[in-house]
Structures are given as C-alpha cells and as structure tokens.
Amino acid sequence: MQSVLDTPVLVLNRLWQAVNTCSARRAFTLLYQGHAQAVSADSGEEFLTHDFDSWRDFSRQNPHPEMVKTITMNVRVPRIIVLLLFERLPKKEVKFTRHNVFERDKNTCQYCGEIFSRENLNLDHILPRDRGGQTSWENIVCSCIPCNTRKGNRLPHEAKMQLVRKPKRPKWRPFLHISLSNAPHDSWKHFLDIAYWNVELGD
C-alpha cells in the first residue's frame, strides 16, 4: 500500500509553470526548508500560497483525509508547491536511458507489435554493433526476447522482419509526461495544458 508521503505533488517554478512532480515527502522537505511554498486551491479558482507555518495553520483549520500525523501536529499533504527561486523550464533534451527507450516505444516490441512487461523486453541494435551500428535513439528499439533471438546479428530485412515504426529521438520531457486522467488532484489542470500534454506523439 502506497504511503501518503509517496503520493505525487506538482512542482511549479517561480513563474508558476509546471516543471516536475515530486513525492509528498520531498515537498514537505522543500516547504520546511523555505525553498518552496504550498499552494491551496480550496477557495475555488483562487490559489493561495503558504510557508510551512501558514500551511500548518491552514491544515488545522481545513482538515483533510490525507494528513501526515506527528506527535505535535497534523499537516495536510500539499498537492501543489511553488519553488521560490527556480524559474527555468527543464531542458527539452531527453536523456538516452533504457527507461526512456521503453517509454518512447511504450513497452512494445518494435518487430511484432506486442506489448510486454519490461523484464521480457530487450534493447536491440537495428544495425548490429559489430557491423558499425551505433547505440543511439535512431538505432535502438525495444524487442521481445523471441524477436531478438530470431533477428540475431542481422538487419531486419535479412531476417524477414519489419519495424513497426522508425525510431526517433523523442521530444517530450519524460518527467513531465503527466497523464491528466491519473492526476491525483483537479487543481493540477490549472497548470497543465491539456491539449499539449495529451497530444499524440508523431511517428
């Protein structure tokens, strides 16, 4: 069962632009250290900011089912925090990692088109390494173990296989790839452009 301290919190920069999510545990740390303020939206469309002491008082006056209980106080889990100093947006460059390749290919074997759990997927070099293939966004795809075995050290057409789609460097920011249908709080929608975040990524 997920701890209330592990629930996601939307992080805004100093200009009130969504830049990340973090755990409630991290949000409390930033709030307590004075690096961020909690944002309350209980009063309808108006958003109010709170430092740690103000948030503690707000929690006392407006109790909520999701509270963190300590010996001396009960504090609400913030759903949104705003950073007091950071004003940049994250870089658009997506790190070339195993996780992000799986995200780009949506855990789908790029040869047979089936979706697999990640432990049953490999990363395949379309042009094999010993034939000059590079480890890059454009030459790496997710492959299930049977397809990977069938392809072996060959090009796809040599193994009579075809790619589902041509691999490209993704343009999304993986840590900001937030599904609004899974957003834990309606107030997030004020800071996330629905049309932008839910657009279908082109092939």
Q: What is the pLDDT of residues 116-167, one digit of tens each?
A: 998 899 999 999 999 999 999 999 999 999 999 999 999 999 999 999 999 9
Same domain, 152 and 190: no
Alpha-helical (H) ranges within 156-203 are 194-197
Q: Are residues 76 and 16 in the same domain?
A: yes
Tokens of 138: 């454009």
For residues 117 and 62, membership in a common domain is answered with: no
Say what the pLDDT of residue 44 is: 55
pTM flag (> 0.75): no
178 and 143 both lie in a single domain: no
Rounded Cα gap, residues 81 and 83, in angstroms: 7
Contact indicator for 37, 58 with CB cutoff of 8 Å: no
Question: Which of these, 11, 10, 3, lies nearest to 67 by C-alpha position?
Answer: 3
40 and 67, same domain (yes or no): yes
pLDDT of amino acid 184: 56
Domain shared by 41 and 133, yes or no: no
Establish if 166 belongs to a structural domain. no
| Residue ranges for the chain with pLDDT beneath 50 | 1, 174-175, 177, 179-181, 194-203
- Looking at the fold, whether 134 and 57 belong to one and the same domain comes out as no
Domain assignment of residue 60, given as a range: 4-90+174-197
> Is residue 145 included in any domain, yes or no?
yes
Helix (H) or strand (E) segment spanning residue 75: strand 74-76
169 assigned to some structural domain: no
Write 41-48 long-range contacts (CB < 8 A, 24+). 41/79, 41/80, 41/187, 41/190, 47/80, 47/187, 47/190
Position of tokens 């041509």? 166
